[in-house]
């Protein structure tokens, strides 16, 4: 296992030599989740192999097992991964536990500046502590929870007439969470072309992070805060405010009245399947799915539309997804891994990343005049990335996530207790975690 000192020496040697390519070709392994963007990265990385002489291997793990598998790898000091595209919440543990190489000196030496990336992705994927210029990753994949809807169903004249008669407004992209619930309830149990359909597929999965990644899109917009803005780790009255409880009640009502039967443990894959098979009028999901929606013969080609998570009574926010790419501190091939970071940061590579279905966080890509018209979902991606919030990125984030999954699922899905009781219990759980961490 490499020590932090050895890691620093390795990075320093690269800087001192000024090398842009390693003297010896290496076999590098990049670890990430198994999903569509990973396939695009394989294709993109072929150019790196040609330019560098290094060979790329990939270790991709399905999302439900991704965190357990890769965090165990990091915590054990394993040398499987030279590069890690780790989830946004891992950055605190990656930095404080010495899993990731600090990249500031490397960035400075190679003209890589975080000013060139979407600010939310720098804060979410690269920085620790948050809002300080200490970088342990390069923003790799911008992602956010948004909504996909059956535009072709919305546009049907007979459906438009019926919706107008019931709600007194045109059936269109919802401007608020309340309107979204109306639309979902309107489609619930409706007959479309001889098939019974339902309102919306939302995140309800309990085993990893699913329901948390879903319910926060309601909680944030109803006033939920992770902590007192003026006093870190002061959470009582912020996590469990009366308005936050209303947000949790909203999510439960949406689940109870406007989702498909049997959807009590759904996450990304189940929502995609339900939408593509014509079961639902809308789906909540991370933006990474949108290229696949457009390419799908059943729902693509203008049949689908996209919109950011709508506003609630306390504002408009959306759950941040996405990841940064880091050099693993236990790798014995850090020089070559840093080359990959340097290559990946280039504007022309980032532009190709977007074209292949990756979500670049580079301003030069997303602020290009042609970006908005490049894909039907490009504007929604930009609008969504402008309203993001993220879950705790604390080193103990997993210990914070587990009780939230349990408390929220027990209330929303199992119907146990009240929303206020669920959030009060969550506060107690989180206070215990922070006390154990010495934060309180």
SS (H, E, C) the chain: CCCHHHHHHHHHHHHHHCCCCCCCCCEEEEEEECCHHHHHHHHHHHHHHHHHCCEEEEEEECHHHHHHHHHHHHHCCCCCCCEEEEEHHHHHHHHHCCCECCCHHHHHHCCCCHHHECHHHHHHHHECCCCCCCECCEEEEEEEEEEEEEHHHHCCHHHHHHHHHHHCCCCCCCCEHHHHHHHHHHHCCCEECCEECEEEECCCCCCCCHHHHHHHHHHHHHCCCCCECCECCCCCCCCCCHHHHHHHHHHHHHHHHHCCCCCCCCCHHHHHHHHHCCCEEEEEEEHHHHHHHHHCCCCCCCCEEEEECCEECCECCEEEEEEEEEEECCCCCHHHHHHHHHHHCCHHHHHHHHHHCCCCCEHHHHCCCCCCCCCCCHHHHHHHHCCEECCCCCCCHHHHHHHHHHHHHHHHCCCCCCHHHHHHHHHHHHHHHHHHCCCC
Residues 6+ apart with CB under 8 A from 394: 92, 93, 400, 437
pLDDT > 90: percent of the chain: 94
| pLDDT tens digit sequence for 108-151 | 999 999 999 999 999 999 999 999 999 999 999 999 999 999 99
The pLDDT value recorded for residue 22 is 52
The pLDDT value recorded for residue 4 is 34
pLDDT at 8 over 50: no
- pLDDT (average), residues 97-114: 98
- pLDDT (average), residues 245-253: 98
Q: How confident is the model at residue 400 (pLDDT cuts 50, 70, 90)?
A: very high
The pLDDT value recorded for residue 23 is 59
pLDDT at 20 over 90: no
- pLDDT (average), residues 50-57: 97
- pLDDT (average), residues 330-350: 98
| pLDDT tens digit sequence for 350-398 | 999 999 999 999 999 999 999 999 999 999 999 999 999 999 999 999 9
Distance CA 341, CA 394 (A): 24
Average pLDDT taken over every residue of the chain: 94
- pLDDT (average), residues 24-41: 96
Token pair recorded at residue 311: 């506003």
The pLDDT value recorded for residue 12 is 39
pLDDT at 11 over 60: no
Burial of 169 (0-12, 13-18, 19+ CB in 10 A): exposed
Q: Which of the residue ranges 2-6, 176-180, 190-194, 302-306 would you say has the lowest mean pLDDT?
A: 2-6
pLDDT > 70: percent of the chain: 95
CA distances from 175 to 40, 48, 171, 183 (A): 33, 43, 11, 11
The pLDDT value recorded for residue 24 is 84
CA distances from 257 to 43, 183, 215, 253 (A): 43, 11, 16, 6
Residue in the block written with tokens 């074209």: 355
Query: Nearest to residue 140, comparing CAs of 322, 319, 377, 365?
Result: 322
């Amino acid at each position: 296992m490499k020590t932090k000192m050895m890691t620093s020496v390795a990075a320093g040697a690269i800087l001192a030599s000024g090398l842009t390519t390693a003297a010896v070709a290496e076999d590098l392994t990049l670890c990430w989740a198994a999903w569509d963007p990973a396939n695009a990265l394989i294709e993109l990385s072929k150019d790196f192999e040609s330019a560098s002489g290094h060979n790329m291997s990939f270790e991709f793990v399905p999302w439900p097992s991704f965190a357990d598998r890769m965090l165990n790898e990091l915590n054990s000091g394993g040398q499987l991964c030279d590069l890690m595209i780790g989830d946004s919440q891992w950055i605190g543990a990656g930095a404080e536990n010495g899993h990731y190489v600090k990249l500031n000196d490397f960035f400075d030496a190679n003209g890589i500046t975080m000013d060139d990336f979407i600010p939310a992705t720098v804060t979410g994927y690269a920085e620790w502590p948050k809002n300080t210029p200490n970088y342990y990753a390069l923003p790799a994949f911008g992602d956010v929870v948004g909504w996909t809807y059956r535009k072709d169903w919305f546009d049907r004249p007979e459906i438009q007439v019926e919706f107008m008669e019931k709600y007194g407004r045109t059936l269109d992209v919802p401007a608020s969470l309340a309107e979204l619930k109306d639309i979902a309830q309107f489609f619930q149990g409706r007959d479309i072309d001889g098939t019974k359909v339902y309102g919306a597929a939302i995140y309800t999965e309990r085993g990893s992070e699913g329901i948390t990644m879903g319910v926060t899109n309601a909680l944030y917009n109803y006033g939920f805060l992770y902590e007192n803005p003026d006093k870190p780790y002061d959470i009582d009255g912020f996590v469990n405010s009366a308005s936050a409880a209303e947000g949790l009640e909203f999510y439960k009502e949406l689940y109870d009245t406007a989702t498909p039967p049997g959807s009590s443990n759904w996450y990304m894959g189940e929502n995609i399947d339900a939408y593509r098979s014509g079961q639902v009028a809308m789906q909540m999901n991370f933006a990474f799915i949108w290229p696949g929606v457009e390419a799908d013969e059943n729902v693509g080609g203008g049949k689908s539309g996209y919109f950011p998570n709508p506003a609630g009574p306390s504002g408009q926010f959306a759950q941040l997804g996405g990841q940064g790419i880091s050099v693993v501190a236990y790798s014995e091939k850090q020089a070559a891994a840093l080359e990959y970071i340097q290559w990946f940061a280039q504007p022309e590579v980032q532009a190709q990343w977007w074209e292949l279905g990756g979500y670049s966080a580079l301003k030069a890509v997303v602020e290009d005049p042609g970006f908005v018209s490049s894909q039907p979902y490009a504007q929604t991606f930009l609008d969504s990335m402008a309203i993001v919030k993220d879950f705790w990125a604390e080193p103990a984030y997993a210990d914070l996530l587990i009780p939230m999954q349990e408390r929220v699922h027990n209330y929303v899905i199992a119907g146990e207790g009240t929303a206020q009781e669920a959030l009060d219990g969550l506060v107690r759980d989180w206070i215990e975690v922070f006390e154990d961490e010495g934060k309180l």
